[in-house]
Structures are given as structure tokens and as C-alpha cells.
Amino acid sequence: MENNRIGSRLNADNQTYKPTPDLQGRGRSRYGEKLRTFLKDWTLIIAIVAGVAGYFVYRWIPGIDPVRPYVYPAIGIIQPLLIFAMLFLTFCRIELTDLRLQRWHLLLLLFQGGLFCGIGIALIAMPHSGLRVVLEGAMICLICPTATAGAVITKKLGGDVSHITTYTILINLTAAILIPLLVPFVHPSAGMGVVEAGLKILLKVFPLLLLPLITAAALKHIFPHFIERIAGYQEVSFYLWAIALALATAVTTRSIVLSNISLSTQLWLVAVSLVCCLLQFWLGRKIGERYGAKITAGQSLGQKNTVLAIWVGYSFFTPVTAIVGGFYSIWHNLFNSWQLYNHKKHHSGPEEDSSSMLSDRQTRKAENSGADGEEHTQHQH
């Protein structure tokens, strides 16, 4: 008995005199981790502020006059490349054998495509409507595909990643077909026929939305190890998104400053983006609930590729409609933050922690009593 006490004291002493870690190095790494977390948490705000500030620097500083004529055309090339790269990185981690078509996929596609076409036909029938710009904004919010980060949020909320990935591919295909078919009639291009304008949009949209999937699938067969390595760099798409959002915000700011559209119409576009965001999250969750996919369907319909929405707005519609993409980005990120907070609260609250600690104690007690019982049996034998 005394020996056991002495041994326990020695163990306690040994634990006390363990080598001290490098506290300074640990402090630096902890500071770096906090900074990285802060930048990630506030990337949306930082990118938007950088985009707005960048535009006014471009506009007001005379020293950049020689390069000013080339900035806007350069963004027109860089922006699609960034969107392509983000989609490509996303599709690199997809296994086509994991994709499964669900009934709710078809219902969501019918909603997005149907409302997009319905509003478009109404605008074709009423070409001089005072609500034209606002309704164009609604069309962009409705047809916009699911965000590349949708799978990440869905996984955190406990949804099905393969099902949202399947829907992302389906809505990209739908948007690549419907936008070139309808937009030339809704927003005719000056000096260009409907067929010519449709083909021009098709050549821009179709490669951007579907070529990343085709390229990733082809390279998986030709260079599988290379694609495996590429798929490991998914964090890069986050930084590409931040750069793309900053550029998109700068272009949106330019559209607002140079636009002759009234302030009331611009405020209506902000309101439309909020209504479309809430409607699509609500309807997606409502439809998904019937098929046991409330979270996945809600994210599929509500979380949008807003950088693409901004690009579609200033490229094919009235440029000021790009506002809806910028504000939709704010609304759906706020909604996702609220969802993640609620999920964390209900799945890792103090009650759950205390109950898990209690169960651990009970398990250890059962193991100890079991061990004592075995020892007692051995002594009897």
C-alpha cells in the first residue's frame, strides 16, 4: 500500500518535471492561426471594401492614366478565368460514380428554370416596363448556379455532399442552356441579331460553366495522380473567390457610379436580392424536407455563385443589375453564419458536453467494476 503511494508521488513528480515546450514558438503559431482565422471570417467584408476602394483609386489617382484604358478589358478576361479555376478545383475532387439524381433535384430545376423563363417572357411581352431593370435582377438571382463552397457548408450542417454536388452540375448545365436562349430576347444587344447575340453568349457561358467539369473528368482518366494532387489544394479556391469578389465589387461600383438608373431602382435591386435569397433558402428547405434532404436542398437552391451572378449582370444585362449579385453574397453569407451558429449550438452545447462526460464516467466505472470482478474471480480460482 505504501509502495503504491510512493510510486504515485514519483509519477506526479515526473509529470511535474517534464521538459518545458517552446512557449515563444507556440505563441507565434497561435498568433498566426488567430490572424488566419480572422482573415477567413472577415474575407467577405475585406473583399468588398477592397473592391470599392480599388475602383476609386483607379478613378481618382492620375498617376495610373497610361494603364487606365486596359484595366476594364483585363478584368473582363481575368474574371472568367477565376470562375473557371474555382469550378475546376471543385470538380477535381468529384467522383462521377458518387453522383446520384434525386427527385428534389428536378423540382428545384423546374423552379429555377421556370421562374427565369417566366419573368423573361413577361419582359419580352412588355419591353418598355418601368420594372425592367428590377426584374432582370430577379432573373439573375433565380438562374444563378449553386456556389462552389455549397458542399463545404452542407457538410458542416450535416447534409449530403454528393447530392448538392450533383445539383451543382445540373444547374450549371441548365444555366448554360437557358441564358444564351433567353437573354438575347430579354436584353437585345445594339447592332446585333438575336441569333448572333445568343451564340456570343453561348460561347462565353457554356465553356465557363461546363468546360471545368469536362476538363476535370478527362484529366482524371489521363493524369489521375496529378488530379489527386490538385484536389488537395481546395483552399486555393477560397483565395481565388476572394480575389474574384473584390474584382466583381469594383466592377459593380463602376456600374453604379456611371449608371443613370435612379437611386430608387437601385434600392429595389437590393430588396430583390434579399427577397430572392430568403425565398430560395425557404423553398429549398421546404421541398427537401419532403425527401429527407432539408439542409442539402436548402443550400442547393439558396447558396449561390455570386461572383458568376455579378459577371452575368454586367456582361449580358443592364450593368447596374450586378448589384443583386453583390448584395446576394452578403445575404446568403449572413444566413449561412446563422445556420452554422445554430447547428453548433444544438450539437455541441454544454448539455451535450456534460452528458458525454457523464457517459464517459459511467463507461470507465463499468470497465473498472468489470476488471474488479475478473480479479475477484481469479482470486477465488
Q: How confident is the model at residue 26 (pLDDT cuts 50, 70, 90)?
A: low
Residue 18 has pLDDT above 90, yes or no: no
136-153 pLDDT, tens digit each:
999 999 999 998 878 878
pLDDT at 356: 37
Could you tell me which CATH number the domain at 42-340 has?
A: 1.20.1530.20
* C-alpha separations of 230 from 85, 148, 225, 365 in Å: 11, 16, 9, 48
**For residues 175 and 179, what is the distance between their CA atoms, to the nearest angstrom?**
6
- The SS3 call for residue 232 is coil
CB atoms < 10 A from the CB of 8, how many? 10
Q: How confident is the model at residue 17 (pLDDT cuts 50, 70, 90)?
A: very low
Gyration radius (Cα) of the chain, Å = 27
Q: Nearest-CA neighbor of 79 among 314, 337, 270?
A: 314
Q: What would the grid cell of residue 143 be?
A: 438562374
**For residues 139 and 237, what is the distance between their CA atoms, to the nearest angstrom?**
26
Q: At what angle do helices 294-302 and 161-186 cross, to 10 degrees?
A: 30
Contact criterion met (CB below 8 Å) for 136 and 316: no
Residue ranges of the alpha helices (H) in 61-156?
68-92, 103-125, 132-143, 150-156
Q: What angle do CA 366, 371, 376 make, to 5 degrees?
A: 125
Query: Which has more confidence, 224 or 358?
Result: 224
Contact criterion met (CB below 8 Å) for 36 and 231: no
Per-domain boundaries in the chain: 42-340
Query: Which has more confidence, 71 or 362?
Result: 71
Contact criterion met (CB below 8 Å) for 160 and 293: yes
370-379 pLDDT, tens digit each:
444 444 444 4
243-272 pLDDT, tens digit each:
888 888 888 888 888 888 888 999 999 999
CB-neighbour burial class of residue 238 (10 A; exposed 0-12, middle 13-18, buried 19+): middle
Distance of CA 108 to the CA centre of its chain: 18
DSSP string of 267-334, one letter each residue:
HHHHHHHHHHHHHHHHHHHHHHHTTT-HHHHHHHHHSB-HHHHHHHHHHHS-GGGHHHHHHHHHHHHH
Compute the mean pLDDT over every residue in the chain, rounded to the nearest whole number. 81
334-347 pLDDT, tens digit each:
888 888 888 888 77
* C-alpha separations of 367 from 359, 376, 380 in Å: 12, 14, 20
Q: How confident is the model at residue 124 (pLDDT cuts 50, 70, 90)?
A: very high
